[in-house]
Amino acid sequence: MATEPIVHTEYQYGFNDGDVGVLKFQRGLTRQTVEDISRIKGEPKWMLDFRLHALDVFLRKPMPTWGADLSQLNFDDIIYYVKPSERQGRTWDEVPQAIKDTFDRLGIPEAEQKFLAGVSAQYESEVVYHSIRKDLEEKGIIFCDTDTAVREYPELVREYFGTVIPPEDNKFAALNSAVWSGGSFVYLPKGVRCDIPLQAYFRINSQNMGQFERTLIIADEGSFGHYVEGCTAPVYSTESLHSAVVEILVKEGARMRYTTVQNWAPNVYNLVTKRAVAYKNATMEWIDGNFGSKATMKYPAVYLVGEGARGMVLSIAVASRGQHQDTGAKMIHAAPHTSSTIVSKSISQRGGKATYRGLVHFAPEAEGAHSHVKCDTLILDAESASDTIPTAEVDTNAAKMEHEATVTKVSEEQLFYLMSRGLSEEEATRLIVLGFIEPFTRELPMEFAVEMNRLIKFEMEGAIG
């Protein structure tokens, strides 16, 4: 049997290019911190009030008693706001060279040139570079960082901000609401199709720096869009915290897809609240890949509030040494004839732990609703572990729920078959692992599928002796 890891998740982008932050806050969180953030950003009073209220909620809420071990997380040891450059880079030439070098290694400029509608790269806490193709602008699509949106589209932001995930939702949503900075704002007007993915990259760079981006996406009636986000972060010895909030509204007949592949450094706490509301005949799809981090707690949710709304979560999680991927999905069926699908693929290796934690809820109104959940886990070696904890709550007799899950090792039969065909054990195992996650990779946009393939291949080199 294999004693070597099959999927290497050694952090590949573990370089850092010095501290380029121009303005850096002291560690810790007080009312003054929140007021300073808001003042520096020149925010309207309603946003300051929102932040201060959220701070109260954050201080009041207890830590979650379930999920990943957060006992090493010290809120007083985190810097809550870092501004890397005095103003936002408007053209590529204005972006500081150190930041450019990092992006070069991540392949962002090429990506922009080739496929992408716009690159909105968050470096530390501010979006430093952002562009959007002219034809999208002409369609009336808004794609900018959320700070800009607060200034330039105040009515839109104020109408929807915090409505899908109020600060009261959970402790980390409250924290994000108090100190958020950056993130993307997307507005798709009625009936507009955006055929090319909107893409943003996020990175954490400063040691002990929390990153609290806030993304708000509004897909108006009959629109279609695909938002893509990827994360990598340099390795540091002390803990970092990433706590994002992503709110999405999918109006009647609209369709929205949100794709994330994250590869956090192994010292990052990744505690993210992602939720979408799907109205009548709307479709919301979360495609969510989780690599790296010390502990991830992330459960993308869809509230199906309109008749005929559809929700999907398709996710993979790879947990390696010292990592706990506590991920899953939530589907709340609150209207008739809503349907949902959850497909979760987990791999744990080298002492990592992958947990699927999910909820499917049918309200009494969910007549004719249907949900299908499938969770599969591969445990690759004797040190690793996996939990599968799905919850189903059925408050109506007119809905149907099906759930299935398996936890297995790599099938010896399949290995023997492939090896009898002349493949080495390493090649055979890689093929089986790629087959296992294929339902996920096939849903990625081409740009990401390429990146993902590279990542998996890279990580599996020399896996078996």
Partner 1 sequence: MEQDTAVVTLAAADAASIAAFVAEHYQGEPPWLTQARHQAGTLAATAALPQRAKSALRARRWEDAPVLAEGVPAVPAAPRDGIRITRGGYRSTPLPAAWTAAGVLCWNLADAVRRAPELVRQYLGQALAAEPVGDGAVGTEGAKFAALNAALWQHGVFLYVPPRVQLTEPVTVEYCIEDSAVTLYPRTLLIADRESQVRVIERYVSQEPEGAARRLLSAVVEVFAGEGARVEYNAIQDLGPSVDAVVHRAARVARDGQMSWNLGEFGAGVLAGRQFTALEGPGAEGRTTVVFFGNRAQQQEYTAITEHAAAHSQSDLFARGVMNGRARSAVTAVTHIRRGARGSHARQREETLMLSPTARAEAVPSLLIDEHDVFAAHAASAGPVEESTLHYLMSRGLPEIEAVRLVVHGFLAPVIDRLPQDAVRDLVWERVERKIRE
Q: Which residue is it, tokens 């099959």?
A: 6
CB of 163 to partner 1, least distance (A): 24
Judged by CB, which is closer to partner 1: 97, or 397?
397
Beta strands 184-188; 142-145: pairing state: antiparallel
Please tell me whether residue 223 binds partner 1 under the rule CB under 8 A.
no
Rounded to whole angstroms, what are the CA distances from 161 to 114, 164, 269?
32, 8, 25
Please tell me whether residue 392 binds partner 1 under the rule CB under 8 A.
yes
Please tell me whether residue 90 binds partner 1 under the rule CB under 8 A.
no
Please tell me whether residue 163 binds partner 1 under the rule CB under 8 A.
no
Runs of H (alpha helix) within 189-245: none
Please tell me whether residue 398 binds partner 1 under the rule CB under 8 A.
yes
Rounded distance between C-alpha atoms, residue 146 and residue 214, angstroms: 7
Sole window of 33-41, 125-133, 181-189, 380-388 interacting with partner 1 (rule: CB under 8 A): 380-388
Cβ pair 292, 321 in contact under 8 A: no
CB of 364 to partner 1, least distance (A): 7
Q: List binders of partner 1 among 406-435 (CB under 8 A).
A: 406-409
Judged by CB, which is closer to partner 1: 22, or 405?
405
Q: Which two tokens stand for residue 295?
A: 């502990």
- Taking alpha carbons only, the member of 17, 5, 449, 392 closest to residue 233 is 17
Q: Which two tokens stand for residue 454?
A: 């590279």
Please tell me whether residue 401 binds partner 1 under the rule CB under 8 A.
yes
* Three-class SS state of 348: strand
CB of 327 to partner 1, least distance (A): 15
The only residue of 389, 431, 450, 464 in contact with partner 1, by rule CB under 8 A: 389
- Taking alpha carbons only, the member of 329, 373, 383 closest to residue 353 is 383
Radius of gyration of the chain (CA): 22
Q: Which residue is it, tokens 């980390």?
A: 172
Please tell me whether residue 74 binds partner 1 under the rule CB under 8 A.
no
Beta pairing partners, 127: 122
Judged by CB, which is closer to partner 1: 158, or 374?
374
Judged by CB, which is closer to partner 1: 216, or 379?
379
Please tell me whether residue 352 binds partner 1 under the rule CB under 8 A.
no
The only residue of 145, 229, 326, 381 in contact with partner 1, by rule CB under 8 A: 381
Query: For binding to partner 1 (CB under 8 A), which residues are involved?
Result: 364, 377, 379-382, 384-409
